Structure 1
Amino acid sequence: MRYLLMISADEERTSQSPSAEGHRAFTAWLDDLSERGVIRAHEGLRPSHTATTVRVRGDEVLLTDGPYLETKDQIGGFALIEVDDLDEAVEIAAAHPACAFGQVEIRPLREQ
């Protein structure tokens, strides 16, 4: 089953460059997923202030600079994994270094 892991945290905390230890922990996490053959994609996102939110109301297209929600925690990246079940997805998400200061939301993808 495929799952999207949405990695989020308080942007104030994540705007700083990661420490060498944090970078090593993230690299180890990603290397583990690669070795297991479960990672399908992984990308980081630019800060939320660079976002453009699109809404359509009637015939009008409304654009807003910034994220769709006004909250401290913002999605900073995502990973797409393919694993046997939710338990394995939880184990992978819990091992992400961002869980120490943020969170990882797990969403199953609709299968065609």
Structure 2
Amino acid sequence: MRRYLILIAYEPWNWNTATEETRAAFFAQHGAFSAFVAEHGREVASAALDDADTATTVRHVDGKVVVTDGPFAETAEMIGGYYEVELPDLDTAIAAVTLLPPSYSLEIRPVIDIT
């Protein structure tokens, strides 16, 4: 089994104004993803993240630590959550993420053990 981190990015929108049908579709798609992962491997961790405007960025600039509010990069999309999964291979990870909402941009990254 190989560990993968799946980053979920999307253009910001207001979940509070989503219709019940839209919410139900999102939950169903995440449920289908989780069921697929459980069938082929396992989910290690997952979480939804607060909006990008709540982020804190820490950088080293000219030998000093600089802390700023907001995300690291200016972008139309924001990282809204992640899954860490164990699956047999990248093809299986790709098959799994196709079950998530189509409005997402999904990045699959192998997790490496550096110990």
Report TM bin, short chain: 0.7 to 0.9
Cα distance, 1:35 vs structure 2: 4.7
Residue 64 of structure 1 aligns to a residue whose secondary structure is strand
SS at match of 2:47: strand
Q: What are the ranges of 5 or more consecutive residues in structure 2 without an aligned counterpart? A: 17-21
How many angstroms apart in 1 are the aligned matches of 2:40 and 2:111? 20
CA distance in 2, matches of 1:45, 1:80: 14
Please give the TM-score of this superposition, normalised by the length of structure 2. 0.83
Q: Percent identity?
A: 33
The number of residues matched between the two structures is 108
CA 1:37/1:83 → structure 2, altered by over 3 Å: closer, same or farther? closer
Which residue number corresponds to residue 8 of structure 1? 9
Give the TM-score, by structure 1 length: 0.85
How many Å separate the matches in 1 of 2:94 and 2:39?
18
Q: Name the structure 2 match of 1:68.
A: 72
Q: Does the 8 A contact of 2:12 with 2:77 survive in 1?
A: yes
SS of corresponding position for 1:7: strand
State the superposition RMSD in angstroms: 1.7
- Structure 2 counterpart SS, 1:76: strand
1:30 Cα deviation from its structure 2 partner? 2.2
Q: Which residue of 1 aligns with 2:19?
A: none
> What's the secondary structure of 2:96's corresponding residue?
helix
What CA distance in whole angstroms lies between the structure 2 residues aligned with 1:31 and 1:89?
13
Please state how far the C-alpha of 1:27 moved relative to its aligned partner.
Answer: 2.6
